[in-house]
Structure 1
Amino acid sequence: MLRSQLQFITGPVDRALAGKAPWQIVALTTTTVLGAIWLWELLNEDESLYSRIRRKCFKLARKIPAVQRKIDAEIAKINEGFVKDASQYGEFVTILPQDGIAEDRILQKVDEYLSLGHYKWKEGFISGAVYYYDPRLVKLVTEVYGKASYTNPLHVDVFPGICKMEAEVIRMAATLFKGGSNACGTMTTGGTESIMMACKAYRDYGHEVKGITKPNIVLPVTAHTAFDKSAKYFGMYTKTVPVNPESTEVDIGAMERAINRNTVMLVGSAPNFPYGTMDDIEAIARLGKKYNIPVHVDACLGGFLIVFMKRAGYYVKPFDFSVDGVTSISADTHKYGFTPKGSSIILYSDKVYRHYQYTVTTEWPGGVYGSPTVNGSRAGGVIAATWATMLNFGIDGYVESTKRIIDTARYIETHLRKIDHIYIFGTPATSVIAIGSKKFDIFRLSAELSTLGWNLNSLQFPSGIHLCVTHMHTPDGIADKFINDVRSKVALIMKNPETPVEGRMAIYGVAQAVPDRELIGNFTKCFIDSMYFTQETK
């Protein structure tokens, strides 16, 4: 029976190879095996076959001379506009002066440079960016930074005091996020580096512990783009998961379906940047436990609000280390922790994960080298200023500021919901309020508000704008001014709701309709180039 079955399988092969020379049989066998492996890998990539074919087609289309000329012309035109915008700030210093400039002149030039720009951030007219401003706090951090400006925690034996400050910042933060005795972490230069460190740690953990060689990250489409940046740096792949269009929270069912044997981490936002809504961290953590995958909570934006919201009288869904399955949390001290820019924290539930964050070299002629984060040398002054700011505020200070910020955000949200022809995305969890419209191009509202000095964040897929409420918006009258300005501008727009948006917002809106996203990437590179245009044109 078995022999007849084998003959059924091998018979066609024997007949096909009958009369072939040995080298032909070897060549056919090798070609068949390699072809099968190629086909298997082609069909089992994390990126879908459709996506790869689509990207390849766009790439080939750009090689057509007529198409490429059109693209080059559009890029040149856009680049010209970016450079024109950047050149409005006067002459640039392009050659190091022969003699040093006097201190008083340097300070004068600093004031001149800092006065450039027309947005009234001190009056609370911008979304996010500046989260707190008080001359007394500026004085404190300036003095502290000055005292520690020469220090570098890379040299722990030389500057143990700075290392002690960093350890205390991490321990205070771990306690706020309900970490146990094994909770640990490091400071970083910002939310992007905190996220990168988590991705690096889980990539290496997945490789060493599980043998994963093609790691992927499963995350909501609303998760911060720093995860995509990390994937590009570390040879990982991001598998984005859709969100519920009404709640804008991640679809847990879709997240589970996206998990495969190469998944090294799951991500949830608390809250996300576009809409300010919070993913169901408990549900994501259950998936992590079920499939034995680390779970990262990105609390970079609102971390230093959500840890105080309960004390401030507001409900917040479980999100921290008290949730079984959460293994790491990123939180920016330089946002609602009100510390100087260049300060963030990455926390882990256990040291086993943090060890995979480290980079250690043991064979270098310069000695054994180890560093905890991306940077080798780090600015001890930022660590000291962060430490000082947190101690200066204390729990009561943070609770008070949190209450004022959340009170203001809720007030703005409530009144915006009463304005016809616009809507709010989901239910904001903390301080971000995202606005959309089904009656007119929402970018028109952003453009109109900018004429009054407001600077809001633009969103895409679908189009939207958001206001990130900070302590700068809490003084009397600012929230009401924003509400009244939105109301009056919506009324103005609705007189001619079909009128297309003009100016920079028009470019942003049109960009969403371009199917070849690499072109949008090229436009973005031109914008970044314009920040450095002086060095290349003078």
Structure 2
Amino acid sequence: MSTALAKQRLTTWTKAILFNPAVDNAKTILFLYFFVTHLLRVHRHIRARGIVTTGKEIYTWCAQRVIFLLLRLPSARDKVTGEMAKARVDIESKLVPRGEGVVRHLSLPEQGKSLDWILEEMAKMDAELENSTDYRHGKLSGAVYHGGDEMDKVIVAAYARYTVSNPIHPDVFPAVRKMEAEIVSQVLRLFNNPDGAGTMTSGGTESIVMSVKTHRDWARATKNITRPEMIIPDSAHAAFDKAAEYFGVKVHVIPVDRATRRVDIKRVKRAINANTIMLVGSSVNFPDGNQDDITALGALATAYNLGLHVDCCLGSFIVAYLEKAGLAEGTNGRYKLLPFDFRVPGVTAISCDTHKYGFAPKGTSVIMYRNAALREYQYYVYPDWMGGVYGSPSFSGSRPGALIAGAWAAMQYMGSEGYLQSCREIVTCARRIADTIRETIPELYVMGDPPASVVAFASKHPKVNILEVGDKMSQRGWHLNALNGTPGVHLACTRLTVQVADEFIADLKDAVSEAKASPSGKGTMVALYGLGNSSAVGPSMVRQLATTFLDTLYKA
């Protein structure tokens, strides 16, 4: 067959296929499928976010594209580069020690050092930065959940006994396996689900990430959901967004009520669709220490057969003991604790950080599920690996058994009476601070009615910038958290806070007076918040600063 004849036949066949009515119908059906699919996704997005919010998102996206194009101009690019360089120098100066006396250990020593030398060198490193903070002074928001000097001895002793242990080998370290199972059992009972299931993790973030993974896989297996979505309050921990990015889950963020600080239940219901795998509520949330209405969220989860994760990472053993401490009904008509644990129908998972108000060593948390059947979706099992069957309960393979032993020892040392007493002390302190702000500092207001250990406050005076107040508190040695959205500052009270509550109140009053009399418009809190809200591209600049900060953490 000649080449010309072959081309002619190929052309004839191609035309016959392309212009065949059946092919035309298939193309039409395919087009309609993609059109309807994308239209449905747009409809769900607008229904969840609302027309106004969707419009703002489109505007922000367009504005960012325009600004990013402008930033490619040499003059603008040079200016941004210069500002970022200054910021890098400022961050490094606060974190990386400098000077002739600083010794850097960038390579392994030729000969091993003695314990005395190691301890001496550690002491030098502790003292190298002038702005270093002694946590024992108590001028911290959370960060260090100190159980006392005796507790330190208990944890160190447990560490020493199980230093090399690894629960990936339960046959070699059976005691560690037993302690982990007992920790999970004890925490499940605190949250009123003795027949439930759970695992330990490295912290609240991993607990949350594991829960999102579990609910995603559960929804895929039982409901055939391949485009998973979850609905979270604006006040939910950033770990949910982190998990969503890791696991390909679309997030719908629902605003919280400005007064109660609880998620808008009507908006949550409107956002539910066929792809929704889970809802999220907090008890308490990190930003302002308030609760969501878990009962209402549970009713929605039950009605639509969804998962419901309650984040109690920060609430921890405080919310678990509020009822027993007689503080669940609140004080002064405020601070009432709403139902939040597994007694609420619809709750499928709860995260609790034992390394917060459980006073266990950092790096321990528990993720709990209503039943063992749901927990199975958290596991990873690879039966065909050349090295043998591989199975792990969470992200990590090898895990530090010493941390598990430390957590078990801390919980046994405290006992229920110890946790009950610490709950009373910490919550009473937090509520006293909140009441004092309400009654004696008219320029500020407390955000919501936080029932547990966190107090967040904002400004109601036109001449008082609350972030300026936060910077003034920093100058007095306090390490507090600045809040986005509604500008605010929060304090997570601990056992260390109890001893400095009066000093905190006095310093706060002075800081408000100074910020009101002579605001500088400068400082870490003011600068970062101002940059983040300066324009559509502001958050991108903050992202660059955050990246610089993370890079600096690894600068030796």
TM-score, scaled relative to structure 2:
0.87
Are residues 52 and 379 of structure 1, via their aligned partners in 2, closer, same or farther at CA, if it must alter by over 3 Å?
Answer: farther
Which of 512, 518, 529 is the aligned partner of 1:509? 529
What does residue 145 of structure 2 align with?
131
What does residue 311 of structure 2 align with?
298
What does residue 233 of structure 1 align with?
246
Q: Distance in 2 between matches of 1:215 and 1:169?
A: 32
**Cα contact 1:122–1:133 (8 A) shared by 2:** no
Q: Distance in 1 between matches of 2:401 and 2:264?
A: 42
**Cα contact 2:63–2:536 (8 A) shared by 1:** no
What does residue 444 of structure 1 align with?
468
Find the residue that maps to 1:286 and give its secondary structure: helix
What does residue 172 of structure 1 align with?
186
Structure 1 residue 179, shift from structure 2 partner: 0.0
What does residue 247 of structure 1 align with?
260
Find the residue that maps to 1:88 and give its secondary structure: coil
**Cα contact 1:120–1:126 (8 A) shared by 2:** no
What does residue 19 of structure 2 align with?
25
Q: Distance in 2 between matches of 1:38 and 1:518?
A: 33
Instruction: Tell me whether 356-365 or 434-443 shows the greater mean CA deviation.
Output: 434-443
What does residue 116 of structure 2 align with?
104
What does residue 274 of structure 2 align with?
261
Q: Distance in 2 between matches of 1:365 and 1:295?
A: 38
What does residue 58 of structure 1 align with?
64
Structure 1 residue 69, shift from structure 2 partner: 4.5
TM-score, scaled relative to structure 1:
0.90
Deviations 1:61-84 (A, max 9, x none): 424521555443433332232223
Q: Does 1:92 align with 2:104?
A: yes
> 1:508 is matched by which residue type in structure 2?
L
Q: Distance in 1 between matches of 2:529 and 2:342?
A: 40
> 2:149 is matched by which residue type in structure 1?
P
**Cα contact 2:471–2:526 (8 A) shared by 1:** no
Q: Does 1:429 align with 2:445?
A: no
Q: Does 1:211 align with 2:233?
A: no
Structure 1 residue 237, shift from structure 2 partner: 1.4
Q: Distance in 2 between matches of 1:113 and 1:83?
A: 16
What does residue 496 of structure 2 align with?
472
Q: Distance in 2 between matches of 1:414 and 1:307?
A: 23
> 2:382 is matched by which residue type in structure 1?
T
Are residues 73 and 24 of structure 1, via their aligned partners in 2, closer, same or farther at CA, if it must alter by over 3 Å?
Answer: farther
Q: Structure 2: 5+ residue runs without aligned partners?
A: 1-13, 47-53, 329-336
Number of equivalenced pairs? 510
Are residues 37 and 386 of structure 1, via their aligned partners in 2, closer, same or farther at CA, if it must alter by over 3 Å?
Answer: same
Find the residue that maps to 2:478 and give its secondary structure: coil
Structure 1 residue 515, shift from structure 2 partner: 1.8
> 1:217 is matched by which residue type in structure 2?
M
- 1:55-454 equivalence runs, <5 A: 55=61, 58-59=64-65, 61-64=67-70, 65-66=72-73, 68-88=77-97, 90-115=102-127, 116=129, 117-181=131-195, 183-315=196-328, 316-418=337-439, 419-438=441-460, 439=462, 440-454=464-478
Q: Sequence identity of aligned pairs in percent? A: 36
Find the residue that maps to 2:412 and give its secondary structure: helix
Instruction: Tell me whether 298-307 or 120-129 shows the greater mean CA deviation.
Output: 120-129
> 1:532 is matched by which residue type in structure 2?
Y
Q: Distance in 2 between matches of 1:491 and 1:58?
A: 38
Are residues 57 and 474 of structure 1, via their aligned partners in 2, closer, same or farther at CA, if it must alter by over 3 Å?
Answer: closer
> 1:161 is matched by which residue type in structure 2?
A
Q: Distance in 2 between matches of 1:34 and 1:119?
A: 63
Q: Distance in 1 between matches of 2:202 and 2:406?
A: 13
Q: Structure 1: 5+ residue runs without aligned partners?
A: 1-19
Structure 1 residue 367, shift from structure 2 partner: 0.6
**Cα contact 2:142–2:493 (8 A) shared by 1:** yes
Structure 1 residue 374, shift from structure 2 partner: 0.4
What does residue 10 of structure 2 align with?
none
Find the residue that maps to 2:292 and give its secondary structure: coil
Are residues 177 and 525 of structure 1, via their aligned partners in 2, closer, same or farther at CA, if it must alter by over 3 Å?
Answer: same
Deviations 1:14-38 (A, max 9, x none): xxxxxx9645536866665554444
Deviations 1:243-279 (A, max 9, x none): 0011111111111111111111111000000010011
Q: Distance in 2 between matches of 1:227 and 1:151?
A: 31
Instruction: Tell me whether 341-350 or 73-82 shows the greater mean CA deviation.
Output: 73-82
Are residues 481 and 53 of structure 1, via their aligned partners in 2, closer, same or farther at CA, if it must alter by over 3 Å?
Answer: closer
Structure 1 residue 47, shift from structure 2 partner: 5.3
Deviations 1:154-185 (A, max 9, x none): 0111111110000000111111100042x010
Find the residue that maps to 1:264 and give its secondary structure: strand
Q: Distance in 1 between matches of 2:302 and 2:408?
A: 34
Give the aligned CA root-mean-square deviation in angstroms.
2.1
Find the residue that maps to 1:417 and give its secondary structure: helix
Deviations 1:345-372 (A, max 9, x none): 0001101110000000011111111000
Q: Distance in 2 between matches of 1:229 and 1:512?
A: 20
Q: Distance in 2 between matches of 1:428 and 1:268?
A: 15
